[in-house]
Amino acid sequence: MDIAVCVKHVATLGDEVELNDDATDVDPDYLEWTINEWDTYAVEEALRLREVAGGGEVVLVTVGDGGADESLRRGLAMGADRAVRIDPGEGAGILDPLTVAQALALAIDDVHPDLVLAGVQSSDAVQAATGTMVGQLLGLPTVAVVKRIELDPGAGRARVHRELEGGLVHVMEVATPAVLTVQTGINEPRYANLRAIKQAREKEIAVRDLDAGTRGCCRVERMFTPPAGETAEALGDDPAEIARRIVEIVTARLS
């Protein structure tokens, strides 16, 4: 059972934020980088499916600069077999989901996996688009927001539980190979021990370049803190007075 897993290296903000000198990005000193939370569940699910199948290879694939190696090595420490990073190069700008999906699909196509997993969305862009685009580009059946996978490798099918709005669950069968985007809570991602972390540091990460001439969809011209608006008004403790004041505010806004 060979499984490809799409992962993303994402930045998280602390309580305090400062911009860089030209106000085009957040000062790196105020950012912490890590593997996308949804993708940790995808990696864990791939490892569990490999164990159930009794063997195979788990390959991690990402698009990013050298900093993304940190997230790939975390996945390797969890138990993935190897990793591939597509380097966009300098000046590529902000890559849109379709461009990222195209790069991922090309790398995954070389792997010829029995299954492709990805997190439902990334914590930075929150677009939930890349995984499903990868499925369409590969021409594979695609199921989004999966919270349970029952794989039958011999039959070439998988039974998946898909999370819908309102707490509903859609149970369906899908032919494999397929692309599944994984929801948080599908499992409990394992922690890597020190030995595994050390071994992951020694593994080579295959690096390939993004297609020449590929550029992002946009670039940042300026970032700034929006000006403060009107201050909030305390309405006191008396319920009757609060109700009267709310009526006044609403009436004034509607007039």
DSSP string, the chain: --EEEE--EEEEE-S---B-TTSSSB-GGGEEEEE-HHHHHHHHHHHHHHHHHT---EEEEEE--GGGHHHHHHHHHHT--EEEEEE--TT--BPPHHHHHHHHHHHHHHH--SEEEEES--TTT----HHHHHHHHHT--EEEEEEEEEEEGGGTEEEEEEE-GGG-EEEEEEESS-EEEEPTTSS-PPPPPHHHHHHHHHSPPEEEEPPTT---SB------PPPP-PPP----S-HHHHHHHHHHHHHHHH-
Could you tell me whether strands 157-163 and 142-152 are parallel, antiparallel, or unpaired per DSSP bridges? antiparallel
Give the pLDDT score at 229. Answer: 73
**Structural domains of the chain in order of their starting residue, each with its CATH number:** 3-209 (3.40.50.620)
Highest mean pLDDT of the ranges 20-24, 107-111, 209-213:
107-111
> Is residue 169's pLDDT more than 70?
yes
The one-letter amino acid at 132: T
Residue 188, pLDDT above cutoff 90: yes
pLDDT of residue 230 exceeding 90, the answer is no
Place of tokens 């996308």: 36
What is the predicted pLDDT for the residue at 158? 93
- Please tell me the predicted confidence (pLDDT) of residue 17: 84
Neighbours of 76 (CB within 10 A): 25
Give the Cα separation of 116 and 111 in Å (integer): 10
Token digits of residue 80 = 């993935």
Q: In this structure, are residues 75 and 46 in contact, taking their beta carbons and an 8 Å threshold?
A: no
In this prediction, residue 101 carries a pLDDT of 94
- The answer, yes or no, to whether residue 218 has pLDDT greater than 80, is no
Q: Is the pLDDT of residue 25 over 90?
A: no
Give pLDDT, residue 114.
94
- Average the pLDDT over each of 24-33, 57-66, 175-184 and give the range with the smallest value: 24-33
Report, as an integer, the average pLDDT of 139-162.
92
Length in residues, the chain: 255
**For residue 14, what pLDDT band results from cuts at 50, 70 and 90?**
confident
Q: Which residue has the higher pLDDT, 83 or 23?
A: 83
Q: Let me know if 48 is exposed, middle or buried by CB neighbors in 10 A (0-12, 13-18, 19+).
A: middle
Average pLDDT score over the chain: 91
Does position 112 have pLDDT exceeding 80, yes or no? yes
* CA 80, chain centre distance (Å): 17
Whole-prediction pTM: 0.84
- Using pLDDT thresholds of 50, 70 and 90, give the confidence band for residue 213: low
Residue 215 has pLDDT above 80, yes or no: no
245: tokens are 């004041």
pLDDT, residue 248, reads 92
Q: Pick from 3, 6, 2, 1: which is nearest to 134 by CA?
A: 6
> pLDDT exceeding 90 applies to what percent of the chain?
69
Of the candidates 246, 228, 247, 227, the residue with the CA atom closest to the CA atom of residue 236: 246
pLDDT tier, 220 (very low <50, low <70, confident <90, very high otherwise): confident
221: pLDDT confidence band, cut at 50, 70 and 90?
confident
d(CA 122, CA 84) in angstroms, rounded, equals 19
